[in-house]
Amino acid sequence: MKQFRKNYRVLKELVRLRFQNLMMFKIGFFGPFFVDGSLFAVQLLVFQAVYSNVERIGSWGKGEMIIYIGTYSLLNAVNMVICFFGICGISGKIKNGEMDLYLTKPVSPLFRISLERINPGSIPLVIMSVCIIFYGIHTADMQPGGKKVLCYLFWLLIMQVFYYDMEVLIRSIAFYTISTAKMEQLEEACLDLCMKLPGIAFYGIYKFIFYCILPYGIMATLPVQSLIGEMSLGLGIYGILAVCIFTGVTAFLWKNGIRHYNSASS
C-alpha cells in the first residue's frame, strides 16, 4: 500500500510535468490524434471498399471488421495516451547511458520511463475508437448482452497489458545488443500487417508465427471474437497463457537487462 501511494505521487508529478512540457509545443498537442486518426480512417475506407464487393471475409461481415478496426484503434489509442512515447525512448536511453538517471531514482525505472511521457492529446483517439466500435456493433446488428460486454472489456484489458509487454520486450533487447532498430522495424511491420488483417485470416505457418512467435495476430482478434461469440474455450485459455508467458519473458529480460546494464558502454 505504501509503495502504491508512493507510485501514485510520482505519477501525479510526472503527469504535471508532462502537461507543462506539452503546453510549450501547443501545435503538436493533438498531432498523434490526427496521425493515427487518419490511419484508422484509411483502414475503415479500405474495408468499406472491400465489403462493397464481397459480403464476408471468412466468417466476418462488415460489422465485425469495423469492430476489429475500432478495437485495434482503441488498444493503440490507450497505449499512446499512457506509455507509447515513454517506451519508445528505452533503446536510446540504454544506448547513450541515460538509463543511469532512472536507476538512481527511488522509483522503478520501468514505471517512470513508461509514464513520463503520457500523451493526453491522444484521448480524442480513444473516443473516436469507441465510436467506431459502436458503429461496428450497429452495422453487425448485434445486441451483445452484459456478459459478452464484460468478456470483451476483460480481453481488452488483457491485450492492453500484452501490447505493453511486447513493446517493452522488443526494446529490452537493447540491453544485450548494439542496436534494436531492426527489431523495431519488425515490430512496426507486424503491427501494420495485423492492423489490416484480423487473426481469422491466418492459417498454417502464418498462424503459428502470428499467434505464437510474434503474437500480434491475437491482440485485437480475441476481444472481438469474445464480443461476437466466436471464441472457443481453448482459444481463451491460449490467449491468457500467451499473455502470462510473454509477461514473464518481458519481466525476466528487463530485470536481467538492468543487471547486465553497464552505463554508456552497454
Partner 1 sequence: MSKYIEVGRTYLKTQLAWRGDVLFHMLFTVTKILFACLLWGLIFEEREMVSGFTYHSMLSYYIISSFLSQLEKSGGISEEITYKIRNGSFSNYMVLPISIEGYFTAMEAGIVLFYLGFDLAAAFIWVFIFRIEFVFVQSGFIFCCALLMVIIGLFFMVQLNYFLGILTLKYEEISTFLMIKNNLISLVTGSIVPLTLFPEAVVRYMKLLPFYYVTYLPSMLLTGRCRQEAVTGLFVISGWCIVMQILIVYTWKKYSRKYDGVGI
Positions that interact with partner 1 (CB under 8 A):
27-28, 31, 34-35, 38-39, 42, 45-46, 49-50, 52-54, 56-58, 182, 185, 189-190, 192-193, 196-197, 200-203, 206
**CA-to-CA distance for 229 and 50, rounded, in angstroms?**
24
Q: How far is the CB of 110 from partner 1 (least distance, A)?
A: 28
For the chain, the C-alpha Rg in angstroms (whole number) is 19
Q: How far is the CB of 237 from partner 1 (least distance, A)?
A: 25
The one-letter code for the residue type at 221 is: T
Main-chain phi, psi angles of 140, to 5 degrees: -80, -5
Of residues 23 and 49, the one with the C-beta less far from partner 1: 49
Q: How far is the CB of 41 from partner 1 (least distance, A)?
A: 8
- Name residues whose C-beta falls within 8 Å of residue 77's C-beta, 6 or more positions apart in sequence: 36, 122, 123, 125, 126, 128, 129
Query: Is residue 172 within 8 Å of residue 254, measured between CB atoms?
Result: yes
Q: How far is the CB of 84 from partner 1 (least distance, A)?
A: 14
Q: How far is the CB of 244 from partner 1 (least distance, A)?
A: 28
Q: How far is the CB of 189 from partner 1 (least distance, A)?
A: 5
Question: What are the cell numbers at 13?
Answer: 508529478
**CA-to-CA distance for 263 and 119, rounded, in angstroms?**
28
Main-chain phi, psi angles of 203, to 5 degrees: -145, 165
Nearest to 33 by CA among 129, 114, 117, 159: 129
Question: What are the cell numbers at 193?
Answer: 500487417
Nearest to 73 by CA among 133, 30, 114: 133
The full length of the chain comes to: 266
Query: Is residue 159 within 8 Å of residue 220, measured between CB atoms?
Result: yes
**CA-to-CA distance for 254 and 172, rounded, in angstroms?**
6
Q: How far is the CB of 187 from partner 1 (least distance, A)?
A: 12
Of residues 31 and 248, the one with the C-beta less far from partner 1: 31
Of residues 198 and 239, the one with the C-beta less far from partner 1: 198
Of residues 1 and 54, the one with the C-beta less far from partner 1: 54
